[in-house]
Structure 1
Amino acid sequence: MNPPPVSPAGFWKRYVAYSIDVLLLSFVCQLVLTIVFAIMGLNDDSLVPRLLAMAADPEALDTDAALSLLTGLWPLLWRMSWISTLVYALIAGVYFVGMESSAWRASLGKRLLGLVVLDGQGQALTPWRAAARFFAAALSWLTLNLGHALAAWTPSKRALHDFVAGTRVEHANPTQTTMPAWAWAFLGLQALLLFGTVIVLSVALALWLTAVGLV
């Protein structure tokens, strides 16, 4: 039996696929976290307007009030941060491991881009190997995304977690390897949103610094 043809997926295709997965996971996680925070009593909406008021007019808030606000804020943010991380890790783990070891051999994002995840011999992943790939992805994040960037540099288009887990991302149909037009449009939209966010935050920071007399 001849091995399947090797057709590694490029970096940008993988990025678009992952972006789609993250959007889906973010929506699900937000719903779950809203319920979890409500049950744990961590949805104190009064903190946001108080923080905005302090930022808008810091001189109107005395030192004791500011210290009291920050003292109550940091423990809350810490608890919300680790709970959010845990919830995302659990949901994402079930999602990626389940999807990539299924008959589809891909997450929803990868399937939309015509990609599949295979082992080193070109076979479907077992749940154990899919789990190893998911946990190995932490190494790609811990290297400040250099592990992900390997997919753009290496001839095999494999990221660091692919090397560690013995996996690779391939085109399901080796004759269809081009990026669809909608995926390029999706990339362009992300770039515009990023650029717009940087501009808005820069202007907001400049206005705030001017308001408090620091510039």
Structure 2
Amino acid sequence: MDYKPAGFWIRFVATLIDGFIVAIVGLILSYIFQDPPGDIDNSTSANTFTFIYSVVFIIYLTASKYKGTPGKLIVGIQVLSIHHEKIGIGRSIGRFFATILSGIIFYIGFIMAGFTEDKKALHDMICGTRVVYRKK
């Protein structure tokens, strides 16, 4: 089965959608965990919960039957192995941490998806994954 690689911009839109979802959850958690209520400056626990939620959200959903986060589902793309198979939790964890590497130097690792032949970002190259359009 041949899959069409997803390029930089569609992946960017998926990331924006995911960021919006995480921000909404973060706002809700900030409101719930404010101590005392109304003290916006004291939201460390909410930030911690938001970070943990983000990590679990990305890692679990990428390794799940959905093969991607809600942003990827909405725009019609998915994360697969280089052999076009669903990735496991270990590879998903590695991919999550490799995305940090992709962003360290001016996001060059992400921008690479716009210039490589098979539309792979640095974290895809490191982890043996690819982001492709879903089959209809």
Q: TM-score range by the shorter chain?
A: 0.7 to 0.9
For residue 161 of structure 1, the aligned residue among 117, 123, 128 is: 123
CA separation in 2, counterparts of 1:128 and 1:10?
24
CA shift, 1:12, in A, is 0.7
Q: What does 1:1-215 align with in structure 2 at a 5 Å threshold?
A: 4-36=1-33, 38-39=34-35, 41=36, 44=39, 84=47, 86-173=48-135
Contact 2:29 2:50 in 1 (8 A): no
Q: State the distance in 1 between where 2:90 and 2:37 align.
A: 35
Which amino acid is the alignment partner of residue 31 of structure 2?
A: T
Could you tell me how far apart the structure 2 residues matched to 1:140 and 1:33 are?
Answer: 29
What amino acid is the match of 1:143?
I
Runs of 4+ in 1 over 2 A off after TM superposition: 33-36, 41-45, 79-84, 86-89
TM-score scaled by length of structure 1: 0.57
Identity of aligned residues (%): 29
Give, in whole Å, the separation in 2 of the partners of 1:42 and 1:161.
Answer: 40
> Which stretches in structure 1 are left out of the alignment for 5+ residues?
46-75, 177-215
Contact residue 33 and residue 87 of structure 1 kept, 8 A: no
Structure (1 or 2) with the greater helix fraction: 1
What is the rounded CA distance, in whole Å, between the counterparts of 1:30 and 1:164 in structure 2? 33
Question: Do the aligned partners of 2:62 and 2:68 also contact (CA within 8 Å) in 1?
Answer: yes
CA distance in 2, matches of 1:137, 1:94: 15
**How far apart are the structure 2 equivalents of 1:90 and 1:131?**
13
Q: 1:11 corresponds to which letter in structure 2?
A: F
Distance of 1:135 and 1:82 partners within structure 2: 22
Return the offset for 1:91: 1.0
Distance across 2 between alignment mates of 1:44 and 1:35: 11
SS of 1:118's equivalent?
strand
1:137 & 1:89 partners in 2: Cα distance? 15
How many correspondences in the alignment?
Answer: 136
Structure 1 SS opposite 2:30: helix
Deviation at 1:80, TM superposition (A): 5.3
**Deviation at 1:42?**
8.7
Cα RMSD for the two superposed structures: 2.2
Please say which structure displays the higher CA radius of gyration.
1
- Normalised TM-score (structure 2): 0.87
